[in-house]
Amino acid sequence: MSDQVIRIGLCGFGVVGQGVFNHLKRRKEALGEQLGARLEVTRIAVRDTSKSRDFEFDPSVLTTDALSIASDPEIDVLCELMGGTDKALAVTLTALKAGKTVVTANKALLCDHGAEVFDAAREGGGHVLFEASVAGGIPVIKAIKEGLVVNRFSSIYGILNGTCNYILTRMTNEGGSYQDILREAKELGYAEADESLDVDGIDTAHKAVVLAYLAFGRWVPYSDLLVEGIAAVTQDDISYARENGYAIKLLAVIDLAHASGKLYISVLPTLVSKRYALGSVDGVFNAVSIHGDVVGETVYIGPGAGRDATASAVIADVVDAAKLIGKKDCGGFIDPAPKGGHLIELAEPEEIMSRYYVRLQVLDEPGVMAEVASLLAEHQVSLASVTQKEVAEGAKDASLIMTTHFTSERALLEAVKSLEKCDRVQGKPFSMPISTFED
């Protein structure tokens, strides 16, 4: 092995940081042989230096000053594994401006500040590598950047949050309410104490924004995405899905709207056919389907989070970063940002066509169905099927489950708003797209 040492600064020594440290140490010899250089973690930043850690390490490498690692001329590669968007941004920009390569797992940072971060890399002559930011251990970023480089993409569909997929899978396989299964998921460590980033679809949306940049070269502001989480999914929806050959998945859709060629991104609970690959991806697994014009569809499935899976992706980037040291070129990555060209336009909701599922709680009295159908017709939403769940003796309201023919997202959203205002509709209607990927 050569005497060259690549010095790595870990900013963050929590779940992911310690995983990276552990596996770099375990595979030190093999990685060194492959690279012709030794990878050494020489500095580590944490918030609390007195906390006990899961692996043995030299405490003299610890600091609470992450910025000092970012500006340290002795550090070759900085791994930003702190999370958050304030300190993480400052650390990332400082390191990039100093010409270092930054490896990050931080999708929230990239979603909110991606353009600034990539500009800083171009200016500083360093690189940003972010395999671990989307779909954890699945090398999907590398697939888009390298393996599929000749392709123009038309769509990417993703199950990108293991917590949501775990909850929906258990609701399907075992019954039980969303709230009960969420509580158990927290007890088992599959969901955070504050679950909102996961179950409200925010984490999935951050990842969708990163994938959209890679495939279509535009950082789409989070506020331009339609994002709904899984909290409103009930056993009525799960039963409908099961009886009709679907699974409910929290699905990120990054798609060129068919008629207009404009870019559309959403994160919504979706009825996905069990005949389609993504309809059978269960538990904490993630899956990504990518459509390229040369290769066709490729599908990637694997663990989307966790210490070891995420460390696997971070270390792949660290190895690439080591190969890039001293190189000013793109390291094989064709930057998707258009140079002087115009940005791809975003699709309007009236340009997005889908079939939809709608569930309503209505007063069980004559004329309700006619009123609902007429409200939908006012918005040009035409019904394909209607089912009313059998009402228990004495119950005042009933659950109506409807599916629509192809209609625009705008028409559906406006129809649902009108239904919500209707006196005989109880509570908030629930709707989701019905996927047609397998058709």
Ligand X SMILES: NC(=O)c1ccc[n+]([C@@H]2O[C@H](COP(=O)([O-])OP(=O)(O)OC[C@H]3O[C@@H](n4cnc5c(N)ncnc54)[C@H](OP(=O)(O)O)[C@@H]3O)[C@@H](O)[C@H]2O)c1
215 vs 305 by CB, closer to ligand X? 305
12 vs 433 by CB, closer to ligand X? 12
CB of 108: closest distance to ligand X in angstroms?
A: 6
**Can you tell me the distance from the alpha carbon of 96 to that of 26, in angstroms, rounded to the nearest whole number?**
28
12 is a contact residue toward ligand X (CB under 6 A): yes
64 vs 177 by CB, closer to ligand X? 64
CB of 136: closest distance to ligand X in angstroms?
A: 5
48 vs 423 by CB, closer to ligand X? 48
For residues 5 and 77, the answer to whether their CB atoms sit within 8 Å is: no
Among 7, 14, 71, 422, the residue binding ligand X under the rule CB under 6 A is 14
Among 48, 58, 329, 423, the residue binding ligand X under the rule CB under 6 A is 48
The H or E element that residue 113 is part of is helix 107-124
**Exposed/middle/buried for residue 25 (C-beta within 10 Å: 0-12, 13-18, 19+):** middle
Ranges within 125-154 binding ligand X (CB under 6 A): 132, 136
**Can you tell me the distance from the alpha carbon of 403 to that of 358, in angstroms, rounded to the nearest whole number?**
6
Q: Which amino acid is at 77?
A: V
Quick one: which segment of 8-16, 317-325, 354-362, 375-383 binds ligand X (CB under 6 A)? 8-16
CB of 143: closest distance to ligand X in angstroms?
A: 17
* 410 token code pair: 């705008």
Q: Which residue is nearest to ligand X (CB)?
A: 14
Catalytic residue among 186, 207, 389, 396: 207
Among 23, 25, 28, 87, the residue binding ligand X under the rule CB under 6 A is 87
Tell me the H-state helices in 147-230.
Answer: 162-174, 178-187, 196-199, 202-216
For residues 225 and 265, the answer to whether their CB atoms sit within 8 Å is: yes
Ranges within 63-82 binding ligand X (CB under 6 A): 64, 66, 81-82
**Can you tell me the distance from the alpha carbon of 227 to that of 117, in angstroms, rounded to the nearest whole number?**
24
Quick one: which segment of 11-19, 237-245, 290-298, 358-366 binds ligand X (CB under 6 A)? 11-19
Backbone dihedral region of 120: left (phi > 0), alpha (psi from -120 to 50 degrees) or beta? alpha
Q: Which amino acid is at 384?
A: A
Q: How many CB atoms lie within 10 A of CB 439?
A: 7
**Per-residue burial over 261-292, b = 16 or more CB atoms within 10 Å of its CB, e = otherwise:** ebbbbbbbbbbbbeebbbbebbebbbbbbbbb
Q: How many CB atoms lie within 10 A of CB 49?
A: 12
Quick one: which segment of 12-20, 187-195, 256-264, 328-336 binds ligand X (CB under 6 A)? 12-20
Catalytic residue list contains 207: yes
CB of 10: closest distance to ligand X in angstroms?
A: 9
17 is a contact residue toward ligand X (CB under 6 A): yes
Ranges within 293-322 binding ligand X (CB under 6 A): 305-306, 310
Size of the site for ligand X (CB under 6 A): 24
Q: Which residues form the catalytic set?
A: 207
Question: Residues interacting with ligand X, by CB under 6 A?
Answer: 12-17, 45-48, 51, 64, 66, 81-83, 87, 105-106, 132, 136, 305-306, 310
